[in-house]
Amino acid sequence: MTFGAKLQTARQYINGRWETGVTTGTSENPSDTRDVVAEYARADRNQTELAIRAAAEALPHWSLSTPQRRFDVLDHIGGEILARKSELGYLLAREEGKTLPEAVAEVTRAGQIFKFFAGEALRIPGETLASTRPGVQVDVTREPVGVVGIIAPWNFPFAIPAWKIAPALAYGNSVVFKPAELVPTCGWALAEIISRSGLPAGVFNLVMGSGREVGQALVDSPRVNAISFTGSSATGERILQTAAARRAKVQLEMGGKNPLVVLADADLDQAVDCAVQGAYFSTGQRCTASSRLIVEAGVHDAFVSRLRQRMVNLKIGHALERDTAIGPVVDRSQLEQNLAWMEIARAEGAEHVWGGAMLESATPGHYMSPALFLAKPEHRVAREEIFGPVACVLRADSYEPALALANETPFGLCAGICTASLKNAMHFKRHADVGMTMVNLPTAGVDYHVPFGGRKWSSYGPREQGRYAAEFYTTVKTGYMLA
């Protein structure tokens, strides 16, 4: 099967079979809304429950499968994704709107993640310890957590599902995966590859449909032992209430309002690069986006002027065109929200520097110019996640107030600093109240073999990715035996 420019028909994958849905939806290309990417099957609660039952029935057998079997499955999936990265990247750029190079890089990342967790299946950790009692042996082993419900957002439709599905399968769990409604075709393309990897029926299931119905059914079902969710803080909060009340294991990756601190001793060109990359690439639709640029007074005006100059020259356009730097906003409603933020920022008294306008293009799409404001810490534009190509600059007198501003947010995903001072860089790494820090690098852009996640309202539960993923996807058992 190939995923070119033609119209796709995406079906549910339940208990090893492709199924039509209860209703049908369509997904469209945000670069050209005349282009319908797919017609896809939408499930209701009952159909979701069938997928959950299939996963529960497949669990006992798969949970006892050998590490070699799991390695083979995951290695096969990773290999096929990597071999088809151009074609899958094309589909991703067409459906989500990030540029083609960004999309191919994301698909590559998804393949690498499956390869990484193929290896992890062979390295499932355990411990043997000396007992405090004579003649007793103690060991600590890890077992699968059970049926895992995976609920994904639209902004990384290959990489985020990959970093949830791959560890779930590597550690012997069964899966029901629900992609976001805006990107069903990417979810289905991934499922199609997984369906040919040698997994027994029911171990992996795909259900598409609304969050309120399909997502909520996963969160509510007593057969689902764990929920891994990435999305907005509001949805995460609701999921936590329900899932925790029924004692399900929960992992939430949510919003961000990530600071990039620029000190007066920074290499200014490098700092501007970090800001442009972190704030605006992928149309600013990244939880790790640098939406707060906290700049030391001595370089404030020079930084703003160079950043503005770079922004003016960024080509906004069709995601599949060769020279596009920034693709469209993902859909009409997100574009309208972004434009409403322009009004909010102006009404609050934030100073508009550049951008924030809806753009006309050769194709009808959701285009806007990246926006920059000079804001005060109390402005909403400087406090709330916008999830679009919108950033603000906050002035700080020196390093200490810059650090205080960086931490003055309910979010805690990641924080960056641009500086030539080793002392300030080390201090920032230790005192930024976040899960990930970056020095002289954009806040967005991470490795896949180390933990990903944040603090405060950005994340809840064990970290994702790398070997730390075992914390969520396994449960520990302590065994005592009289020798």
Q: Which residues participate in catalysis according to the annotation?
A: 253, 287
**Minimum CB–partner distance for residue 118 and ligand NAD (Å):** 23
Binding mask 388-417 for ligand NAD (x = CB under 6 A): -------------------------x----
Please compute, for residue 137, the number of CA atoms within 13 A of its CA located in the half-sphere on the CB side. Answer: 6
**Minimum CB–partner distance for residue 454 and ligand NAD (Å):** 6
Query: Nearer to ligand NAD by C-beta: 12 or 155?
Result: 155
Q: Which of 161, 172, 202, 256 binds ligand NAD (CB under 6 A)?
A: 256
Residue among 379, 386, 302, 389 nearest 354 (CA): 389
Q: Which of 144, 167, 172, 215 binds ligand NAD (CB under 6 A)?
A: 215
Pick the stretch among 119-127, 154-162, 187-195, 259-267 that binds ligand NAD (CB under 6 A).
154-162
Binding mask 431-470 for ligand NAD (x = CB under 6 A): ---------------------------x------------
- Residues 280 to 309: which contact ligand NAD by CB under 6 A? 287
Pick the stretch among 72-80, 161-169, 177-185, 469-477 that binds ligand NAD (CB under 6 A).
177-185
Alpha-carbon 179 to chain mean position: 12
**Minimum CB–partner distance for residue 218 and ligand NAD (Å):** 7
Rounded to whole angstroms, the Cα distance separating 273 from 352 reads: 21
Q: Which of 37, 51, 81, 219 binds ligand NAD (CB under 6 A)?
A: 219
Query: Nearer to ligand NAD by C-beta: 78 or 215?
Result: 215
Q: Residue 25 corresponds to which tokens in the numbers above? A: 């939806």
Return the SS3 of 27.
strand
Rounded to whole angstroms, the Cα distance separating 353 from 368 reads: 15
Q: What is the largest CA-CA distance in the chain?
A: 79
Q: Check residue 206 for interaction with ligand NAD (CB under 6 A).
A: no
Q: Check residue 240 for interaction with ligand NAD (CB under 6 A).
A: no
Residue among 30, 27, 31 nearest 7 (CA): 27
Pairing of strands 436-439, 414-418: parallel
Cα–Cα distances in angstroms (integers) from residue 136 to residues 157, 221, 373, 481, 483, in the given order: 49, 40, 66, 5, 6
Cα–Cα distances in angstroms (integers) from residue 266 to residues 8, 291, 397, 399, 409, in the given order: 49, 19, 15, 12, 24
Residues that bind ligand NAD (CB under 6 A): 151-156, 178, 180-181, 211-212, 215-216, 219, 230-232, 235, 238-239, 253-256, 287, 385, 387, 413, 458
